[in-house]
Amino acid sequence: MPVSIAMAGKGGTGKTTVSGMLIKYLVNHGKAPVLAVDADANANLNEVLGLEVTETLGNAREEMKKGIVPSGMTKDVFISMKLEQAVMEQTGFDLVVMGQPEGAGCYCAANTLLTGFLERLAGNYPYLVMDNEAGMEHLSRLTTKNVDVLLIVTDTSRRGLQAGLRIQKLANDLKLGIGKSYIIINQAKSEPDDEVKTMIVDSGLELAGVIPADEEVYEFDLTGRPTVDLDADNPAMKAAYAIFDRIIP
Ligand SMILES: Nc1ncnc2c1ncn2[C@@H]1O[C@H](COP(=O)(O)OP(=O)(O)O)[C@@H](O)[C@H]1O
Ligand SMILES: [Mg+2]
C-alpha cells in the first residue's frame, strides 16, 4: 500500500493549497506516480492542479444505484468502466474526485464496490495524498484505513490552532491509525510566538513548519491560475518544500 498523507484543519486555512504543493513536490522528487484524492464535497483540488473534472466517484455511485446499464453490457463491466473514467490520468499523478456524498437510501452495495475499487487502485501508487474538508468524520470512513502522515493545516489564529488541536484529539479518539501528525502553520505573517509553540507541544503534536502568507499564492487563486504553476522560488512554495524535505518519508 502507498504512503498515505492526509490533510486536516479548519476551512480556509490552506489544506487544498498545501495538497497541491505536496503533489507537485512528490512528482518533482521521483516519488511518482501519486494518487491524489479530493475528498471534499466542494471539490477544488483540481483547480489548484489546473484540471477540469469530468467524472467523480460520487457520480459513478449514483449511476450504479439507479441501475442504468447500457444494453449489451453487464452491470459489472459498466460499473468498472464508470469508476475507471473517474481516474484522471496526468503526468506523474492521477486525480480521483470523490464528489458529492451519498443521498438518502441504501448505498451499501455501491459503497462496497467503490471502496474495493479505491483500495485496489491505491495499491498501484507509492504515494497517496488526500485533501479533505474541514471535518474529520469522513476520515473515519476512509477507504485507506491507515493514514501514515496527517498534516493539520492552521493559520496563525488562536481559533485555527485550537481547531487543529481538536482534530488531533478526535483522530486519536477515532483510532484512525495515524502514523504521525504534524501541524503546519500557513498564511503566517510572522513567526509563531512561544505561547503557540507550547500549545502545540503540549498537545503531543509536532510543528512541521511555517508557510508565509504570500500575495502571489492568493493572486493565483483569485485569477484562477493553478497554484502548482507558481515558480520554485516563490516564498510559500519554498517553505512548503523545505517542510516536505523534513517530514515526508
Ligand atoms: N500561504 C498562503 N498565502 C496566501 N494565500 C494563501 C496561502 N495559502 C492559502 N492561501 C489562500 O487561502 C484561501 C484558502 O485556501 P485553501 O487551500 O482553499 O484552504 P482550505 O482547503 O483549507 O479550505 C485561498 O484563496 C488560497 O489561495
Ligand atoms: Mg479545501
Q: Which amino acid is at 87?
A: V
pTM over 0.85? The answer is yes
Q: Which three cell numbers stand for residue 59?
A: 457520480
Nearest-CA residue for ligand 1 atom 27 is: 218
- Closest listed ligand to the CA of 225: 1
Which residues have CB under 8 Å from 6's CB, separation 6+?
129, 130, 132, 139, 142, 147, 149, 150, 151
Is 155 a pocket residue for ligand 1 (Cβ < 6 Å)?
Answer: no
pLDDT average, residue stretch 205-230: 97
What pLDDT score was predicted for residue 143?
46
Is 17 a pocket residue for ligand 1 (Cβ < 6 Å)?
Answer: yes
Ligand 1 atom closest to the Cα of residue 19 is 17
What pLDDT score was predicted for residue 59?
87
Residues 16, 147: Cα–Cα separation, whole Å: 17
What pLDDT score was predicted for residue 144?
46
Q: Is 222 exposed, middle or buried (0-12, 13-18, 19+ CB in 10 A)?
A: exposed
- Residue 209 reports pLDDT greater than 60: yes
DSSP lists the bridge partners of residue 87 as 96
Q: Which three cell numbers stand for residue 184?
A: 503546519
Ligand 1 atom closest to the Cα of residue 13 is 22
CA of 177 to the centre of ligand 2 (A): 23
pLDDT band at 141 (very low <50, low <70, confident <90, very high): low
Residues 220, 127: Cα–Cα separation, whole Å: 26
pLDDT average, residue stretch 23-44: 95
Domains delineated in the chain: 3-247 (3.40.50.300)
pLDDT average, residue stretch 187-215: 93
Ligand 1 atom closest to the Cα of residue 18 is 17
pLDDT average, residue stretch 143-159: 83
- Residue 249 reports pLDDT greater than 50: yes
Query: Average pLDDT over the chain, rounded to whole?
Result: 89
